[in-house]
Structure formats: C-alpha cells, structure tokens
Homo-oligomer: A and B are copies of this chain.
Amino acid sequence: MKAYLSRRYHFSASHRLHTEAYDDARNREIYGKCNNPHGHGHNYIVQVTFSGQVDPVTGMIFDLAELDAFAQTSLIDRFAHTNLNALDCFANHVSTTENLSIEVHRIFAGFPAAHLEKVHIEETSNNSFEYAGDAKLLRGTL
C-alpha cells in the first residue's frame, strides 16, 4: 500500500552560470544571457516527493511537520535570499538548476522518516528539472 506525498517549498535566489574551465567567450556561447557578469535570479519552486506505507492507524505516510522542520533548516535557511554561486556546494560546480536539483536531492535523501523518490525544481514557469538518482553516490559530488 505504497503512496506518495509531495510537498513544495519556495525560495528566491540569484545565480550566474559560468565555469572556470572555459574562457569568457566560450562561457558566453554556452550560457548566453545566463552568463551576464552580474547574474540574475529566480523564484525557485522545489517539490520533493516521498514514498512510503500509509500507517493503518494514523492514515499518514509520515508527519509533514517533521518534513517542514527539516526543510526549514536544511533548505530554506541555507538557500533563501542567497546568491547560489556564493554557497559552498557551488564552489566547484556551476549553479545550474540541474546541479541544484542534485544537491537538493542529496539534502532530502537524508530525511529519516520516508524514502525520497525525486526532487523537482521549477526555475521559471516554463523550465523545470527533476532528479531521482542515487543520492548515496552523489554525496561528495557537490
């Protein structure tokens, strides 16, 4: 009787797409306006999806209040109102939303009360990214 619970968290942050591996011309070519020197920003909408058994007594997969507390500390306090490029996890990785999805997946894979299925991030109303990979392999990657 496996069911899925998805919850959305919102934060606003800025970023600039740029890799030290390439020169300025190549960066401009690859990232276009997203490489503009002063950066830009987004209202990110993060949706995390967990799966689990529905407890026959409580009727819940797990307690959402626990997830909210976890998200406040691990996601919102760390990413909201920041420049992603200035964060440790993007010191050696470009702050694309692909990479952000992987990092957010790594974070919520550590939530103890249920199994993380996937992380979906809406960067704009027309762009979104999803990551459902093996979080264990990724620890240390970002």
Copies in the complex: 6
Q: Which residues of B contact A4 (CB under 8 A)?
A: 129-132
Query: Interface size class for chain A?
Result: 35 or more
Q: How far is the CB of A130 from chain B (nearest CB, A)?
A: 4
Give the distance in Å from the alpha carbon of A32 to the alpha carbon of B21 in the complex: 36
Which partner residue on chain B sits nearest A40 by CB separation?
B81
Contact B129 A33 (CB under 8 A): no
Q: How far is the CB of A10 from chain B (nearest CB, A)?
A: 7
Q: Out of B8, B95, B126, name the residue touching A8 (CB < 8 Å).
A: B126
Can you report 23 residue pairs joining A to B where beta carbons are below 8 Å apart?
A1-B133, A1-B137, A1-B138, A1-B141, A2-B133, A3-B101, A3-B129, A3-B133, A6-B130, A7-B128, A9-B126, A10-B125, A14-B14, A14-B41, A30-B58, A30-B60, A34-B81, A38-B82, A41-B41, A54-B98, A59-B95, A60-B98, A61-B98
